[in-house]
Structure 1
Amino acid sequence: MLEFERTFQGMRKEKKWFLESGKCVEDELYAFGKQCRFEHLAHSFVIDPDDETYYQNKVFTSEELEEIRDTESKDLPKMPIELLKYISSFRTKTTEKLRIMLDKRQNWKGKNFDRTKHFDFDWIKHSVHSLLLEFESGTLKQNHLETWYNIHIWSLIDKSFNELIGVDVARGLLLRNEKISIELSKDWSQQHEKHSEEEGI
């Protein structure tokens, strides 16, 4: 929350986004973020015009959200057919078949690999394999701290930007150190109790 405060205080008025209604987007996101009890995109000053939370909490009207959606909108680039086919090849019904597809020799691997042409293919294979390991170990069915998701899940998304020169993806620690210490202490305590029982202490 302190970073959220510092970011807002460092904003210059002439750089802020004012809608036709006269409402300032950054000011509204800040006011809304201060009221949120949980982490929200507003804390990063990122706005999703399809998030109904803004309308439900009267942060923006439907007309204002439409203006936000249409301002300098850009169409998503079309995915190359070969890349789409490769992604579709992993639509299997069993993990065994998924592993067979992962093990299948690709003509872009080995000496034929060209980072400028095949980065996305390589990233997809790595991501599918990483998620498969999590699925098979059952970790996706468990509850975890936010840090776990940053390391095991969101890091896969971060790696998709590795081919972009000048882009440095970093994640902040969302949980307070006190809470992490409590969780670590709780885990240590449980392990210590289990060890004591096994030793007959």
Structure 2
Amino acid sequence: MTSSSKDYEACNQLIENYLNNDAEPTLERFLNDNEKVIGKPDWDKLLLAAVKKFDTGPHPVPQQQKPPPSIASPSAPSKSSKKPITAAMVDKYFEPLVDDKKWTLSTGKVVEDTMKKYTVTCNFEHPIHSLILDIDDKMWVKDGYFTEQEMREIKDARCPKDPELPTHIAEYLKGYAGNKDLESIFDHANHRLFHPKRESDLFWIHQAFVKTLNLFYSNYLPITDHSETDILNRVWGIVQECFDVSHL
């Protein structure tokens, strides 16, 4: 008897025992209970073939379902949807940086060099490879790349201050205070209209309220299973309209 035949028989027996001893069998529970066994080479095909043989109908097996590898990292992607990264690619991103132009913190730590230390631990392309440092990612402090003090220094560096709202806009927005339901917000939004050219800022704010209300009235919001394209068109489209009469 070949090794493949023995594996197939063992797989059949394993599934048969499971089906006979579980009142409500599911493929997910079977995979979790037998993860160490089914993680062996070729068992994914044997498993699907055997499950199909014993399956009685209430718990169909997806044709492309595969057992998770027993030694895979929880964060490792199941498919190469991300671009694999190599040491040569890391050098390509960081080698051109000139030392005397790098950012040195008050503690003496060089930000770009510290970022590079993290890149060499990545198996797949990460925003850091484009020299993007997410200051809200707690990993930087948790994993010891920066201290809390250093992260505060990074966050505060060259941080632009938001300009004060013009008085007429601030007064208009204050008018919505206390309106906590759709009807009261709708009534306030429609008690006055604005000219799209002469009062372009107030016109856009007013339109943003009205169009957002419409998304709630039509049950488009809150967002659940909407596609990214839908959200870009329906939600972010409202924001984009603020640039219609802007100089930016």
Question: Structure 2-normalised TM-score?
Answer: 0.48
Alignment RMSD (CA, Å): 4.0
Question: Higher Cα Rg: structure 1 or 2?
Answer: 2
Distance in 1 of aligned mates of 2:124 and 2:147: 19
Stretches of structure 2 that go unaligned for 5 or more consecutive residues are 1-81, 84-88
Distance in 1 of aligned mates of 2:234 and 2:113: 33
Distance in 2 of aligned mates of 1:148 and 1:43: 29
Report the equivalent of 2:112. Answer: 24
Among 77, 81, 105, the alignment partner of 2:192 is 105
Report the equivalent of 1:192. Answer: none
Aligned residues: 156
Question: Structure 1-normalised TM-score?
Answer: 0.57
Stretches of structure 1 that go unaligned for 5 or more consecutive residues are 168-201
Moved more, 68-77 or 11-20: 11-20
Distance in 1 of aligned mates of 2:230 and 2:211: 14
Report the equivalent of 2:157. Answer: 71
- Large movers: runs of 4+ above 6 Å: none
Does structure 2 conserve the Cα–Cα contact (< 8 Å) formed by 1:29 and 1:42?
A: no
**Cα 1:101–1:30, aligned 2, differ >3 Å: closer, same or farther?**
farther
Deviations 1:13-53 (A, max 9, x none): 2497523312307945983995689xx97687554534434
Among 26, 50, 56, the alignment partner of 2:142 is 56
Task: Give % identity.
Answer: 21
Report the equivalent of 1:127. Answer: 208
Report the equivalent of 1:94. Answer: 181
* Structure in which a larger fraction of residues adopt helix: 1
**Cα 1:151–1:19, aligned 2, differ >3 Å: closer, same or farther?**
farther
Distance in 1 of aligned mates of 2:220 and 2:136: 30
**Cα 1:137–1:62, aligned 2, differ >3 Å: closer, same or farther?**
same
Question: What's the secondary structure of 1:160's corresponding residue?
Answer: helix
Does structure 1 conserve the Cα–Cα contact (< 8 Å) formed by 2:102 and 2:110?
A: no
Deviations 1:111-143 (A, max 9, x none): xx42xxx33212211211121111112222332
Report the equivalent of 1:152. Answer: 234
**Cα 1:42–1:24, aligned 2, differ >3 Å: closer, same or farther?**
closer
Does structure 2 conserve the Cα–Cα contact (< 8 Å) formed by 1:33 and 1:43?
A: no
Distance in 1 of aligned mates of 2:117 and 2:230: 27
